């Protein structure tokens, strides 16, 4: 009651300005004497928590002209500043991403990959961008085995694929940008040069990577202070990265893939037994791709096709659409059971069919996200019993660290962008004095020669990071994403159920308790044998947990994870509604 009372007294509609100590004391006494009245007032002010989730979070952010939502407030503010100065949503997204590479370097950066979905308001058209990198030309399954590994190591230079992020910035800028690339990078350069505060959750991530960073001098130089990770509230700089950003701002992506930055990456790679060469960097390209969609109760949900896992969310939603989810009740035993079994089916297909379509021809993508296939898949679900072993279907009808951000501008151009190093600080290697870590996406290749996702030269690995967008009546309704490796398509499906089936706003959809299923077959060849593990957050009732156990689920309490950000466009009022993950350090900021 004490905490709630203080929140009420500080509510912007009641305020403290001009209220005497005497009046404050009187109001506090009233709240203590009449808790029911106090609680009803707080609920009226927006402090009620739906569905039993005990965590307090924030209100929906609303603004008329533009908005950026991401996992660090400095990055969101940098994007909004770009919008205020005449840039568009694409310029703002690049600015926010560049700042995140400075302030949240374990999760993202120019040593990683990027995917985006863009709505061009003028042309009224959606565009997809795959800026993920390919494996080195000199790699092979035989070479990995010769070096003593039965699969690509999680850390170290053998896990490198060519970083695609900078090519993604360039492609976005060239097609849609309004202002010079250097302007979008300027806020990040200032933070890298002059310093930035290390926030609470990011400090925890940083501390968890202290041991791996201390193993190499270049990683220590970039990301440690006197051999230690910076603590919460410390000021950190990254002047090597500022120098790299300045070069990219002047010369564009060419500086990264052909200039002195490329030479530094290749030199370092050779010195530590890596396989990425100047040739690999120079021949890299980002590709514009067609987003794919499935309808869900009158909304069109858009994802990118493989090599990412976005279509898993569409497969899950297609099964959901055959049930009255709203009638089941939010986070009921029936819903969580259905969700878990639908996820198992989608992930079994993910393990078999999701790969690089430029190399693996005739992948059954359209069939996997079709309604006909979903009807057949749904018949495999037993609502009374959890499946222990789930093979892939036949679609023929004859730990990951990531950042997500979204931006909307005055003209209602929309960007849904996700960018990642994969594991915290990626491979654990900084390729010279450049201030960024190289990703370890290559570890997601399979070593089975018959697998679609098998390791081969110049091939994109399976990817976990997925941006999303929802349209209704031919216009963007929601731009959103949920970070967190295998949680991403699971989170996409849960958030959309919360909004579409249960009528939640964009913030409540994030705050509501989540569930996550771990242990499905993987695209690297790991096989689920025991039904996996179902993790539920504290907002799920004990009665539901007990019922799920009776149905054969291995249930445990914990954090389901994720890193949700979202912006909804309300065309009736002309307002943008922003929601941001309370489990992260960021916010939605509008103007």
CA gap 558, 561 in Å, rounded = 9
Encoding tokens for residue 171? 């492609």
SS3 257: helix
Give Rg (Cα) of the chain: 24
CA gap 293, 89 in Å, rounded = 23
Residues 54/538, Cβ–Cβ less than 8 Å = yes
The pLDDT confidence band at residue 5, using thresholds 50, 70 and 90, is very low
Instruction: Return the top range by mean pLDDT from 264-273, 358-367, 395-404, 443-452.
Output: 264-273
Residues 576/62, Cβ–Cβ less than 8 Å = yes
Residues 420/465, Cβ–Cβ less than 8 Å = yes
CA gap 315, 115 in Å, rounded = 20
Rounded to the nearest angstrom, the gap between the alpha carbon of residue 586 and the centroid of all alpha carbons in its chain is 13
pLDDT digits (tens, 9 = 90+) for 281-298: 999 999 999 999 999 999
Alpha helices in 86-228 (DSSP H): 89-103, 141-146, 165-176, 181-194, 200-208, 210-213, 217-223
- DSSP state, residue 460: P
pLDDT over threshold 80, residue 154: yes
Which range has the worst mean pLDDT, 32-46, 123-137, 468-482, 544-558? 32-46
CA gap 265, 370 in Å, rounded = 43
CA gap 78, 136 in Å, rounded = 35
Find tokens 């002195």 and name the residue: 260
The pLDDT confidence band at residue 394, using thresholds 50, 70 and 90, is low
Q: What's the rounded mean pLDDT across residues 542-557?
A: 96
Question: pLDDT value at position 393?
Answer: 61
Question: pLDDT value at position 530?
Answer: 76
DSSP 127-162: EEEEE-----TT--HHHHHHTT-SS--SSSGGG---
**Residue 25 falls in which region: left (phi positive, over 0), alpha (psi -120 to 50) or beta:** alpha
Question: pLDDT value at position 399?
Answer: 54
Question: pLDDT value at position 528?
Answer: 62
Average pLDDT, the chain: 89
Question: pLDDT value at position 58?
Answer: 84
Residues 560/488, Cβ–Cβ less than 8 Å = no
Q: What's the rounded mean pLDDT across residues 408-425?
A: 96
CA gap 413, 162 in Å, rounded = 30
Which range has the worst mean pLDDT, 43-52, 191-200, 264-273? 43-52
Question: pLDDT value at position 559?
Answer: 87
Question: pLDDT value at position 56?
Answer: 52
Question: pLDDT value at position 519?
Answer: 84
Which strand ranges, in their side-by-side order, compose the sheet holding 555-557?
A: 515-518, 533-536, 555-557
CA gap 23, 373 in Å, rounded = 65
Question: pLDDT value at position 22?
Answer: 40
Which range has the worst mean pLDDT, 5-14, 81-90, 421-430, 506-515? 5-14
pLDDT over threshold 90, residue 60: yes
- DSSP state, residue 424: T
Catalytic residue, from 199, 340, 402, 406: name it. 402
Which range has the worst mean pLDDT, 23-27, 74-78, 300-304, 389-393? 23-27
The pLDDT confidence band at residue 392, using thresholds 50, 70 and 90, is confident
**Residue 406 falls in which region: left (phi positive, over 0), alpha (psi -120 to 50) or beta:** beta
pLDDT over threshold 70, residue 8: no
Question: pLDDT value at position 400?
Answer: 55
Q: What kind and span of H or E run contains 336? A: helix 333-353
pLDDT over threshold 80, residue 6: no
* Burial degree of 178 (CB within 10 A; 0-12, 13-18, 19+): middle
Measured between alpha carbons, how far is residue 72 from residues 98, 410, 583 in Å? 12, 22, 11
CA gap 502, 458 in Å, rounded = 45
Burial 236-275 (b: 16+ CB within 10 A, else e): bbbebbbbbbbbbbebbbbbbbebebbebbbebbeeeebb
What residue ranges define each of the domains in the chain, with the CATH number in brackets? Answer: 2-48 (no CATH), 49-529+562-591 (3.60.20.40)
Find tokens 């037993």 and name the residue: 382
pLDDT over threshold 70, residue 138: yes
Q: What's the rounded mean pLDDT across residues 497-523?
A: 92
pLDDT over threshold 70, residue 266: yes
Q: What is the pTM of this model?
A: 0.89
Residues 14/38, Cβ–Cβ less than 8 Å = no
Encoding tokens for residue 24? 């404050």
Beta bridge partners of 120: 125
Question: pLDDT value at position 50?
Answer: 38
Which range has the worst mean pLDDT, 55-64, 213-222, 336-345, 391-400? 391-400
Question: pLDDT value at position 357?
Answer: 94
Question: pLDDT value at position 395?
Answer: 57
**Residue 484 falls in which region: left (phi positive, over 0), alpha (psi -120 to 50) or beta:** left
Residues 436/140, Cβ–Cβ less than 8 Å = no
> Considering only CA atoms, which of 495, 478, 500 is closest in space to residue 563?
495
CA gap 472, 476 in Å, rounded = 6
pLDDT digits (tens, 9 = 90+) for 93-136: 999 999 999 999 999 999 999 999 999 999 999 999 999 999 99
CA gap 427, 153 in Å, rounded = 9
CA gap 482, 561 in Å, rounded = 9
Question: pLDDT value at position 34?
Answer: 31
Find tokens 């220590």 and name the residue: 220
Residues 135/407, Cβ–Cβ less than 8 Å = no
> Considering only CA atoms, which of 90, 39, 37, 97 is closest in space to residue 66?
90
Which range has the worst mean pLDDT, 54-68, 187-201, 299-313? 54-68
CA gap 150, 530 in Å, rounded = 24
Residue-level length of the chain: 591
Question: pLDDT value at position 1?
Answer: 28
Is 402 considered catalytic here? Answer: yes
Q: What's the rounded mean pLDDT across residues 467-476?
A: 97
Question: pLDDT value at position 23?
Answer: 42
pLDDT over threshold 50, residue 12: no
The residue that leads in pLDDT, 2 or 306, is 306
pLDDT over threshold 80, residue 19: no
């Amino acid at each position: 009651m004490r905490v709630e009372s203080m929140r009420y007294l500080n509510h912007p509609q009641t305020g403290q300005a001009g209220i005497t100590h005497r009046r404050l004391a009187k109001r506090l006494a009233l709240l203590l004497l009449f808790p029911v009245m106090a609680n009803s007032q707080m609920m009226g002010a927006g402090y009620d928590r739906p569905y039993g989730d005990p965590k307090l979070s924030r209100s929906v952010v609303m603004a008329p002209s533009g908005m950026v939502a991401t996992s660090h407030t400095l990055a969101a503010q940098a994007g909004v500043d770009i919008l205020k100065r005449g840039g568009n949503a694409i310029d703002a997204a690049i600015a926010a991403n560049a700042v995140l590479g400075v302030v949240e370097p374990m999760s993202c950066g120019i040593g990683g990959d990027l995917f985006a979905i863009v709505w061009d308001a003028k042309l009224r058209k959606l565009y997809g961008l795959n800026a993920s990198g390919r494996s080195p030309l000199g790699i092979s399954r035989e070479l990995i085995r010769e070096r003593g590994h039965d699969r690509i190591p999680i850390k170290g230079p053998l896990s490198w694929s060519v970083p695609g992020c900078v090519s993604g910035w360039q492609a976005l800028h060239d097609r849609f940008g309004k202002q010079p690339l250097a302007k979008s990078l300027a806020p990040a350069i200032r933070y890298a040069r002059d310093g930035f505060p290390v926030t609470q959750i990011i400090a925890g991530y940083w501390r968890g990577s202290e041991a791996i960073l201390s193993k190499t001098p270049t990683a220590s130089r970039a990301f440690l202070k006197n051999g230690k990770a910076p603590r919460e509230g410390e000021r950190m700089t990254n002047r090597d990265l500022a120098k790299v950003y300045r070069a990219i701002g002047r010369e564009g992506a060419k500086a990264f893939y052909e200039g002195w930055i490329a030479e530094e990456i290749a030199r370092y790679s050779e010195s530590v037994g890596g396989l990425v060469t100047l040739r690999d960097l120079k021949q890299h390209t980002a590709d514009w791709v067609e987003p794919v969609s499935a309808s869900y109760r009158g909304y069109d949900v858009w994802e990118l096709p493989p090599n990412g896992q976005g279509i898993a969310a569409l497969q899950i939603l297609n099964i959901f659409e055959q049930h009255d989810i709203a009638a089941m009740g939010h986070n009921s035993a029936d819903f969580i059971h259905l969700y878990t079994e639908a996820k198992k089916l989608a992930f079994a297909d993910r393990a078999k069919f999701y790969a690089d379509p430029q190399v693996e021809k005739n992948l059954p993508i359209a069939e996997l996200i079709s309604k006909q296939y979903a009807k057949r898949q749904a018949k495999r679900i037993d609502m009374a019993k959890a499946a222990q072993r789930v093979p892939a279907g036949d679609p023929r009808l004859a730990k990951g660290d990531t950042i997500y951000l979204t931006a909307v501008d005055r003209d209602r151009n929309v960007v849904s962008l996700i960018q990642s190093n994969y594991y915290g600080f990626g491979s654990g290697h900084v390729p010279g004095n450049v201030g960024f870590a190289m990703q370890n996406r290559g570890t997601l290749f399979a070593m089975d020669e018959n697998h679609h996702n098998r390791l081969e030269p110049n091939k994109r690995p399976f990817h976990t990071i997925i941006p999303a967008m929802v349209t209704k009546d031919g216009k963007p309704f929601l731009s959103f994403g949920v970070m967190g490796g295998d949680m991403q398509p699971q989170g996409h499906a849960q958030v959309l159920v919360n909004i579409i089936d249960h009528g939640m706003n964009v913030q409540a959809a994030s705050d509501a308790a989540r569930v996550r299923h771990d242990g499905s077959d993987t695209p690297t060849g790991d096989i689920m044998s025991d039904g996996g593990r179902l993790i539920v957050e504290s907002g799920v009732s004990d009665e539901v947990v007990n019922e799920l156990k009776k149905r054969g689920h291995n249930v445990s309490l914990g954090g389901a994870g994720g890193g949700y950000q979202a912006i909804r466009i309300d065309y009736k009022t002309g307002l943008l509604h922003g929601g941001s993950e309370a489990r992260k350090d960021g916010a939605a900021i509008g103007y």
